[in-house]
Amino acid sequence: MIATPPTPPRAADELAAMLTESRDRSLALMRELLEARELGPCLAIVNPPLWEFGHLGYFHDHFALRGLYGLPDYRLPGAERLFDSSSIAHDDRWALPLPSREETLDYLGRVQQAMLERLPDGQASAAQSYVYQLTTLHEDMHGEAFVYTRQTLGDPPPALGSPLPGQPPLDAPAGALPGDVAVPGGRHLLGSNDTVPFRFDNEKPPLEVEVAPFAIARAPVTNAEFAAFVDDDGYARPELWSSTGWAWREARDLQAPLYWRKAVGGGWEERRFDRWYPLAPHQPVVHVSFHEAEAWCRWAGRRLPSEAEWEVAASRAPNPDGRSLAPGKRRHPWGEAPPDGRLANLDGWLLGRLDVAALPEGDSAFGCRQMLGNVWEWTASSFGPFPGFEPDLYRDYSAPWFVEGRRVLRGGAWATRSRLIHNGYRNFFTPDRQDILSGFRTCAR
């Protein structure tokens, strides 16, 4: 049996439920588009749908059936040469001799069935618990990427089902949430320790850091706040941008965020999937790059938080005197309870963002709202390893990206799965990416 990182064993029926639910979501997100468009346009920010589905099956096959159980390669001969993302360059994926749609979906079904059949009654082993969570969470990440693909290509929203109990409707007015909260400085253990049920390799080993006192916004920057920057010629003033950011803006001739346009009669509209809507003033701005977030901060006299500051505001609590950090660290901003519809906008059921003042029950101990869900939040930190980093079983998850100039994002978005996200989870993208569900929260200078 392959060596896996220490992982608390889980009930086999929980692992089976996660596995099947994740696949059901993948099919709900993309099956009808796969039938209409197996390959789609060759773009740097999307994969061919047929290839991406095959990759999902291969990932489970490679790490679970072959790696964990040592089963021979009989489900789809040559799958590694077709679907291994580590060895197949992105642009080459459109030219591969891929199996048909029916053969690909059959491959996924047979791999999943073989995984389910090998789970025991009762408790799974630690190795099974690690590998099944790894492959399921990997599919969850691709599910969020399917959302990006639909938005990028202007496809209609997927049919995912009804919102969760207690979840407010998408158009429920909650308003803005202005102001900062003061956070005392102190020592902080950045990342995730072994109390977290599943950790990715870049979250460990936890790094002890010293954080100076700071003030951070209670909520992410809203559409209305970002529109003020746009209307003040923010996209035409190079002094507000880094040299790299300005060159990026000029190359794309951007005058506003990617999915915005001027409305007839004034104001702004934004495209959500295949339709245009009036810009909702109090929803967090989304689909903005790190460059745009940085330029807005210069215009507003603000700054992006470091990932350590972000995590302190999300996971720590003040001592009674308010001048120091209390011991301990919360898994989620509100505590240890798992996310639900009253606490965070996650899991995709609403198919969009809520106003930044919604979901007060999900506040952190310092009063920061929506630190999990709604939009990913850019930080000022470059993505890199913590001292003592060692790659886990999926060796290419983090290590190849430490030298690519990527920035850390925290907190998850409305399409992020709740079983994936927690205060220590680190996402990472290049600073030019606008297709992701990215916004930002700021700190006082």
Confidence band of 3 (pLDDT split at 50, 70, 90): confident
Cβ atoms of 434 and 258 closer than 8 Å:
yes
Domain ranges within the chain, ordered by starting residue: 12-153, 167-445
Strand partners for 378: 409, 440
Q: Is 150 helix (H, G, I), strand (E, B) or coil?
A: helix
Helix (H, G, I), strand (E, B) or coil at 401: helix
Q: Identify the H or E element spanning 266.
A: none
Q: What is the pLDDT of residue 167?
A: 85
3-state helix, strand, coil in the chain (%, to 5): 35, 15, 55
229-262 confidence digits (pLDDT tens): 999 999 999 999 999 999 999 999 999 999 999 9
CA distance 368 to 188: 18
CATH of domain 12-153: 1.20.120
The secondary structure element, H or E, covering residue 388 is: none
Interatomic CA distance for residues 302 and 385, integer angstroms:
27
pTM over 0.95: yes
Question: Residue 326 above 80 pLDDT?
Answer: yes
Q: How many helices (H) and strands (E) does the chain have?
A: 9, 13
Q: Is the pLDDT of residue 1 over 90?
A: no
Q: Quick one: pLDDT at residue 439? A: 98
DSSP codes joined into one string, 147-207: HHHHHHHTPPPP---PPPTTPPPTT--------EEEE--EEEEES--TTSSS--GGG-S-E
pLDDT in tens, 108-167: 999 999 999 999 999 999 999 999 999 999 999 999 999 999 999 999 999 998 777 778
Residue 29 confidence (pLDDT) above 80: yes
Max intra-chain CA distance, the chain: 66
Report the chain's mean pLDDT, rounded to a whole number: 96
* Model pLDDT for residues 42-96, shown as the tens digit of each residue: 999 999 999 999 999 999 999 999 999 999 877 898 999 999 999 999 999 999 9
Q: Mind listing the pLDDT tens digit for each residue in 379-435?
A: 999 999 999 999 999 999 999 999 888 999 999 999 999 999 999 999 999 999 999
Q: Which of 397, 87, 433 is nearest to 286 (CA)?
A: 433
167-445 CATH choice from 3.20.20.140, 1.10.10.10, 3.40.50.300, 3.90.1580.10? 3.90.1580.10
Cis amide bond preceding 205, omega within 30: yes
More confident residue, 354 or 7: 354
Rounded mean pLDDT, 322-326: 95
End-to-end Cα distance, the chain: 52
How far is 68 from 133, CA to CA, in rounded Å?
13
Q: How many residues does the chain have?
A: 445
**Out of 29-33, 208-212, 424-428, least confident range:** 29-33
